[in-house]
Chains A and B, each alone.
Chain A
Amino acid sequence: MPDAAPHALPDAAHHTLSQPTQAEVALAHQFDSLEQQRDATTLGMWVFLVTEVLFFGGLFTVYSVYRSSYPEAFAAASHELDILLGTINTVVLITSSLTMALAVHAAQVGQRKALIAFLVVTMLLGAAFLGIKSVEYYHKFVEHHVPGPGFQFEQEYFRHAQLFFSLYFMMTGLHALHMVIGVGIMLWMVAWAWRGTITAEYYSPIEISGLYWHFVDIVWIFLFPLLYLLGRHAH
């Protein structure tokens, strides 16, 4: 619990005559050093991700309760999802986490062009994910698997399959919303990288955005088997 030695007093004022460095411009007034700023903002993002774990966790709990109550209906409904598209999306997202990690590395070593390139590729992969998801949603609509008055399913599993699809749309929909926000964050980072705000000394915004992106990826890693792979081994 107790942290390492408290932070040192700020140095006496310097650089009053020469131009401030990019890093000094980036230093917010409440912090004593860039290192403290980086520690604090990184901790902030980790705490935020914990809240996201609890948020999705609540939803996963609802899913788990109903899945254990109605296993056959859930397996039958899961079978109706497009496992090929789901797998492609999984690969797309994992790759985008790779490109994100490469972007962070590029930022750390000050390679601005590589940073921008990797950020853009990550965005494109994210957009591809969302595009494929839209196609899947469209298929579900056409097949009358959207819960509501138009829902159709074999009589035996009707009610609980509808429950499955309610959960499917809720879970993947919230995940997709987080992806959209993630793509927005990437765009913002591209803007900062373009303007030269990100340097080898000040790259923590990229790191923190990377943390968020990896988290959204990990949520999908859980969603995919839970939703798409139910009972597949039995066939």
Chain B
Amino acid sequence: MWTGIPLFPETASTMASRVDALYLFLLGVAGFFSLLIAGLIVFYAVRYRRQSPRSVGATIHGSVTLELTWTIIPFLITMVIFIWGASVFFAMARPPDDTLDIYVVGKQWMWKFQHLDGQREINELHVPLGRPTKLIMTSEDVIHDVFVPAFRVKADVLPGRYTNIWFQPTKAGRYHLFCAEYCGTRHSGMIGEVVVMEPTEYQAWLSGGPEGSLAENGAKLFESLACNTCHRPDAQGRGPTLDGLFGKMVKLQSGETITADEAYVRESILNPSAKITAGYQPIMPTFQGLVTEEQLLELIEYVKSLQATPVAAR
């Protein structure tokens, strides 16, 4: 199964080689200074070994020049590392615009993956090769963490919030997915696999999928929970219309303006009085405890899918 002792992880994403390059540079810097110090210590210990019980060393108090040298040079080296590390980080923190989005829900002690078109997976995540993919993640209970060493990506998965990571796989294969934030008894059992497939195979796999995409299920929920009685496409309802809302700026009662993103939609369902749209009454009831995390994802995807419709005159 394994050919020898692995000393370096697989390189399977576009970020991985960038991370590895910085890592090798750091190995060089660390190796250089470690050997320098170790070498000097050994050399001095031998060269200046105490010859007799009463001998003393030379009285040398210091040298400002040396102090400045070995303060400034390390400082400059660390700044180079900082800038390089920050640049790699920026790339990690800014997913490209056209990512394939997949929702992730972590719970003790398993991973639930939800593809937009309805495919559901447990502990195994299929993704297409070469496509930038974003994981939008939340937890049902305690803090977990999605970590794919081969992609060099990691982010904590928090209850009550969405976090995300993105990657672009460069090599087909199966890669470990670990939970990397201690979460209780079976933390080390919360292991999954990312399966990177050629795009055609991925499509074939997807179409073997089940009933209804996330957005379609969300539409059903929207009706069954009676959201549509207040949030109407003709803007005649007691609540603001949601058509074309996602991604736009919303002006709030408090005067603030915020972007309608996943977190906003989720909060408005669970804690509606937090952000009241300007011009509307705070009468929406809360759905805390009445919807599961997965249902929230379905509703969010449904809202995302709503296009702006021409508004009838009031």
B-contacting residues of A (Cβ < 8 Å)? 72, 155-157, 159
Contacts and interface: CB of A to CB of B under 8 A. Distances in A.
A155 B284 CA distance: 12
Contacts of B286: 155
B282 interface: yes
6 contacts: A72-B273, A155-B286, A156-B273, A156-B282, A157-B273, A159-B271
A138 to B, nearest CB: 31
A86 to B, nearest CB: 27
A118 B282 CA distance: 55
Contacts of A157: 273
Nearest to A158: B286
B140 to A, nearest CB: 18
Nearest to A155: B286
Interface string B265-296: 00000010100000000100010000000000
Nearest to A159: B271
B253 to A, nearest CB: 10
A155 B271 CA distance: 11
Nearest to B273: A156
Contacts of B282: 156
A159 B274 CA distance: 12
A157 B272 CA distance: 11
Contacts of A155: 286
Nearest to A73: B273
Say what secondary structure dominates the interface of chain A.
helix
A157 B286 CA distance: 11
A157 B274 CA distance: 9
Interface of B is mostly: loop
Contacts of A72: 273
A155 B272 CA distance: 11
B116 to A, nearest CB: 31
A72 to B, nearest CB: 8
Nearest to A157: B273
A179 to B, nearest CB: 36
A114 B286 CA distance: 62
Contacts of B273: 72, 156-157
Nearest to B282: A156
Interface string B237-255: 0000000000000000000
A72 B253 CA distance: 13
B275 to A, nearest CB: 11
A155 B288 CA distance: 12
A72 B286 CA distance: 17
B129 to A, nearest CB: 42
B2 to A, nearest CB: 48
By Cβ-Cβ distance, the 4 closest A-B pairs, closest first, are A156-B273, A156-B282, A157-B273, A155-B286
Contacts of A156: 273, 282
A163 B127 CA distance: 42
Nearest to B272: A156
A155 B282 CA distance: 12
Contacts of B271: 159
A79 to B, nearest CB: 16
Interface string B103-115: 0000000000000
A77 to B, nearest CB: 14
A155 B286 CA distance: 9
Nearest to B285: A155
A149 to B, nearest CB: 15
A155 B289 CA distance: 14
A157 to B, nearest CB: 8
A25 to B, nearest CB: 47
Nearest to A156: B273
A59 B286 CA distance: 30
Nearest to A69: B274
A100 to B, nearest CB: 45
A55 B282 CA distance: 39
A159 B267 CA distance: 14
Interface string B158-180: 00000000000000000000000
A157 B282 CA distance: 12
A30 B273 CA distance: 64
Nearest to B270: A159
Nearest to B274: A70
A183 to B, nearest CB: 42
A156 B286 CA distance: 9
A156 B274 CA distance: 9
A157 B271 CA distance: 9
A216 B214 CA distance: 57
Nearest to A72: B273
B188 to A, nearest CB: 32
A12 B302 CA distance: 91
B145 to A, nearest CB: 23
Nearest to B288: A159
B45 to A, nearest CB: 35
A159 B272 CA distance: 13
B53 to A, nearest CB: 34
A24 to B, nearest CB: 44
A72 B271 CA distance: 13
